[in-house]
Structure 1
Amino acid sequence: MKFLVTGGAGFIGSAFVRQLKDSIVLDALTYAGREENLRGVDCTFVKGNITDYELVKKVVEENKVDVIVNFAAETHVDRSIVNPRPFLESNVFGVVNLLQISKEKNLRLVHISTDEVYGDNEADENSPLRPSSPYSASKASADMFVMAYVRTYGVDALIIRPSNNYGPRQFPEKLIPKTIIRTLFDKPIPVYGDGKQVRDWIYVEDTARIIKGIVENGEKGKIYNIPGGHSISNIEIIYKIGSILGKEVKVKFVKDRPGHDRFYKMKPSIKYDTISIDEGLKRTVDWYRENREWWEPLLGDSFVEEVPWEKGY
């Protein structure tokens, strides 16, 4: 199979690309997508956005693509609260472009969604969608378009919903890399509300491996939850990171995020193994310690600001 991986220079996308041979990567290289994530990887890189229908269609035709795996998305909830429009454009309009091209070219489309579409509810793959943020609303909208194209046009598409990912090459605005980096600089970690929001964590290389199996064997029209099975509160994970670093963690509680979900808890329909949260965190901390040249150029607003969603809200 010839793969087109959209958003393949991002955090989870690049981990997936490392599972493949000779894939095509399409990425707009916005703030979180980086060509550095693809160093040493066997792939062909094309700079472009999934909102550009003609470009995506050309890439598909010229490379005789069989499968599109879509990781391309605006993903940061805080940013979606400040400005929802880019999330609508990438996460909805862009996905409709991919669906239309998959329909025209008779391709398989694997769309990567999120556990956040369920809101703070225990959910299996048939549970209703109850998104709480503009980000999760945009992802839920895309999921609905995927299912509509399957039913109306018979498109060979399916949806994968991972839980919170962590690991090497994650952008510094996210909780785990932000905690690692700020602790290395002896800066306080901004913690929303009481810090007791619970997330289910999965190591990014486990996610990539599981997704590859679903891409190859998953059923048309199905939804696949892939929780990590490692639920822990935000404040607990911060202190775990401090322990691994051997440094005191400074915590600064800040105003909670509007509409902040208290927990995510998915049930999967397939079986798989994942590494423990302790082992995954150790690997992640070691990577950030050893790869300062990757993240030091990125220390802008996401490093300095403590409550970024308050800008313009």
Structure 2
Amino acid sequence: MRALITGGAGFIGANFVHQTLADRPDASVTVLDKLTYAGNPASLAGLDERVTLVEGDIADPELVDALVKDADLVVHFAAESHNDNSLNDPSPFVTTNLVGTFTLLEAVRRHQVRYHHISTDEVYGDLELNDPERFTEHTPYNPSSPYSSTKAGSDLLVRAWVRSFGIEATISNCSNNYGPYQHIEKFIPRQITNLIDGVRPKLYGAGQNVRDWIHVRDHNTAVWKIIDAGRIGETYLIGADGEKNNKEVVELVLELMGHDPEDYEHVADRPGHDLRYAIDNTRLREELGWEPQFEDFRTGLADTIRWYQENQDWWRPQKAEVEAKYAAQGQ
């Protein structure tokens, strides 16, 4: 099997490449990645000759066509994905998330290649903190940022290409991931790496915003379940019943790293900060028989902390620049 993985040098994509090579000895992988700040070739270091890294843009029609032509499967992780960045400059989000997805879909249509589209629960907007409901596959889209709105648009493109052109595609919308190889501008690795460097963690506002956390390995096992057994044209929501508010997460990071759980700083909240995300994963569990390995968030977080402690050579070159950017924003 020849798999083309877009964004395969990024956080979730790199983990997907590692897991694919470990679990599927018949697979060869081509990674297409633009290698922006979020794509790191070091995340693929040490992998065998079954992996080829191509530096390029998913919005480049000629390059995409040539790579899709030689693939049996396209798994589309590549995206501009940081909410703060989308608020500062929405334009790359429109180009990558919309034009890039369109370019892939057209190549997939020409060459009749199986396609799986990775998306986010943020396309559904947010829920009230005391709302008993969770997002399902039938929840109306209600995005609130340039990031989530362009991801919503990319999902709708996939659905249209399935219905209008008959491509073989599935979609997954996942909750917040954590784990190895996540860029240190993101919430959990930023807190961990700050503590390693003796810096107090930072918490947006009162920290009451709730996210539904899932370990990246569990996300990727679910993706393979969907590719192998999911119904063409369907959407599956991926979550591990891991709802925690940001305050709880920071306090648990502090505790697991041997610090006072209340030793953190409050910083100005993000504009338009969504209140709560929560995934109903019933279809994934009942239809495809998927179960998460890291059902306990504490265990998964401890595993993640160990990885950042043991792999400082991977994240340290980025640290000073990330913190300087946040300092300039008062965060």
Q: Of the candidates 197, 211, 216, which is equivalent to residue 223 of structure 2?
A: 211
Cα distance change on mapping 1:100 and 1:94 into 2, 3 Å: same
**Counterpart check, 1:180 vs 2:180:** no
In 2, Cα distance between the equivalents of 1:306 and 1:38? Answer: 27
**What is the CA-CA distance between 1:228 and the residue it aligns to?**
1.9
| Residue of structure 2 equivalent to 1:91 | 97
Q: Of the candidates 81, 87, 90, which is equivalent to residue 81 of structure 1?
A: 87
**Counterpart check, 1:258 vs 2:271:** yes
Paired residues of 2:33 and 2:57 also in contact (CA < 8 A): yes
1:3-42 pair list within 5 angstroms: 3-20=3-20, 21-41=27-47, 42=50
| Structure 2 gap ranges (5+) | 21-26, 128-133
Code of the residue aligned with 1:45 in structure 2: it is L
**What is the CA-CA distance between 1:191 and the residue it aligns to?**
1.4
| Structure 1 gap ranges (5+) | none
Cα distance change on mapping 1:129 and 1:310 into 2, 3 Å: farther
| Residue of structure 2 equivalent to 1:285 | 305
| Residue of structure 2 equivalent to 1:126 | 138
Paired residues of 2:268 and 2:330 also in contact (CA < 8 A): no
Give CA deviations for 1:37-90 in whole Å, capped at 9, x if unaligned: 1123241111111011110111223xx211110000011000000000000000
Give CA deviations for 1:210-232 in whole Å, capped at 9, x if unaligned: 11121121111100100121110
User: Secondary structure of 1:78's partner?
Assistant: helix
Q: Of the candidates 286, 297, 302, which is equivalent to residue 317 of structure 2?
A: 297
In 1, Cα distance between the equivalents of 2:79 and 2:68? Answer: 19
Code of the residue aligned with 1:280 in structure 2: it is G
Paired residues of 1:81 and 1:309 also in contact (CA < 8 A): no
Cα distance change on mapping 1:309 and 1:115 into 2, 3 Å: farther
| Residue of structure 2 equivalent to 1:136 | 148
**What is the CA-CA distance between 1:132 and the residue it aligns to?**
0.8
In 1, Cα distance between the equivalents of 2:322 and 2:149? Answer: 23
**What is the CA-CA distance between 1:27 and the residue it aligns to?**
0.7
**Counterpart check, 1:45 vs 2:23:** no
In 2, Cα distance between the equivalents of 1:180 and 1:79? Answer: 21
Give CA deviations for 1:155-180 in whole Å, capped at 9, x if unaligned: 11111111100001100001110000
In 2, Cα distance between the equivalents of 1:143 and 1:45? Answer: 26
List structure 1 runs of 4+ shifted beyond 2 angstroms: 247-250, 300-311
User: Secondary structure of 1:304's partner?
Assistant: helix
| Residue of structure 2 equivalent to 1:270 | 284
Code of the residue aligned with 2:82 in structure 1: it is H
User: Secondary structure of 1:224's partner?
Assistant: strand
Paired residues of 2:219 and 2:239 also in contact (CA < 8 A): no
Cα distance change on mapping 1:139 and 1:307 into 2, 3 Å: farther
**What is the CA-CA distance between 1:19 and the residue it aligns to?**
2.3
**What is the CA-CA distance between 1:148 and the residue it aligns to?**
0.7
Code of the residue aligned with 1:193 in structure 2: it is G
In 1, Cα distance between the equivalents of 2:85 and 2:279? Answer: 25
| Residue of structure 2 equivalent to 1:222 | 234
1:224-243 pair list within 5 angstroms: 224-243=236-255
Count of residue pairs brought into register by the alignment = 309
Aligned-residue CA RMSD (Å) = 1.6
In 1, Cα distance between the equivalents of 2:224 and 2:193? Answer: 31
**Counterpart check, 1:196 vs 2:208:** yes
In 2, Cα distance between the equivalents of 1:22 and 1:51? Answer: 23
